[in-house]
Amino acid sequence: MFAFVVNDAIVEAPVALPRSARRVAPPNPGDWVMVLGSVEDQEACGYFVVTEFSPPVVTAAQRAEFTVEMVGGVPTQVWTVRAETPLEAERRVRDQNRIVLGELATLTTKMGELKEFLVDPDVVAAESQPNNTALSVSQQNRFNKAVARQLRREANAVLRLYRHVFSSTNPSLLDDISDV
C-alpha cells in the first residue's frame, strides 16, 4: 500500500503505485520518471510505502477501520475501533440469518430426498428379498412412510421455530421458505 505525500503531508492514501510519475522532490522537480522501479524514484515522486499493522481484535458488534497518517515522518496505517451502526448490525444479522436459512433449506431438501428414497418401491422390493424376511413389503412400506412423516414433522417444526425467531428481525428472509 502506498501514500502520495507532498511536503510531509498525505495528499491521498491508500493509492496504487503508478507506472510513471512526476518528481515532487529535488533534483529536478516536475521531471517525469518513466519507471518507478526503485524506492528512491518512488519517494522522489511522492509515493511512500505505508507502514502497515494488523487490525485489532473486534467483537461481532464492532468494526475496525484504518486511516493513513504521518507518524514520525512516515505514512502509517492507524486503526480505530468503533461500534457498528444500526444498518451494519441489521446487515450482519440478515447475512447470518440467510446462512442459517440456507442450511435449513439444504437440510429440508435432504430430508425430502430421504423420504423419496424410503418410499421408493425398488428399495422396498430389494429389501424384501427372500433373505430379508423380517418385514413383508407392505410392513416395510408402512414403516418407511411413518419415518418419512416423522422427518417431515420435525422439519416443519424447525421451520416454524425459524419463522418465529426471524420474523421480528427481517420477515422478507422467510419469503422463499415453505413447509416441507
Tell whether the model's pLDDT for residue 55 goes beyond 90. yes
The predicted structure's pLDDT at residue 135: 56
The predicted structure's pLDDT at residue 120: 57
Q: What is the DSSP letter of 56?
A: P
Could you tell me which residues are beta bridge partners of residue 22?
A: 32
pLDDT more than 90, % of the chain: 30
Tell whether the model's pLDDT for residue 29 goes beyond 60. yes
- Whose CA is closest to 2, among 13, 11, 173, 10? 13
Domain-by-domain residue ranges, the chain? 2-83, 86-174
Over the stretch 132-163, which tens digit does the pLDDT of each residue have? 555 566 777 777 777 777 777 777 777 776 67
Tell whether the model's pLDDT for residue 98 goes beyond 70. yes
SS3 94: helix
Please give the distance of CA 46 from its chain centroid, rounded to a whole number. Answer: 36
- State the average pLDDT over residues 16-45: 88
pLDDT more than 70, % of the chain: 74
Question: Which region among 7-11, 164-168, 173-177 has the lowest average model confidence (pLDDT)?
Answer: 173-177
Tell whether the model's pLDDT for residue 180 goes beyond 50. no
Q: Between 26 and 79, where is the model more confident?
A: 79
The predicted structure's pLDDT at residue 58: 92
- Residues 23 and 45 sit within 8 Å (Cβ to Cβ): yes
The predicted structure's pLDDT at residue 5: 93
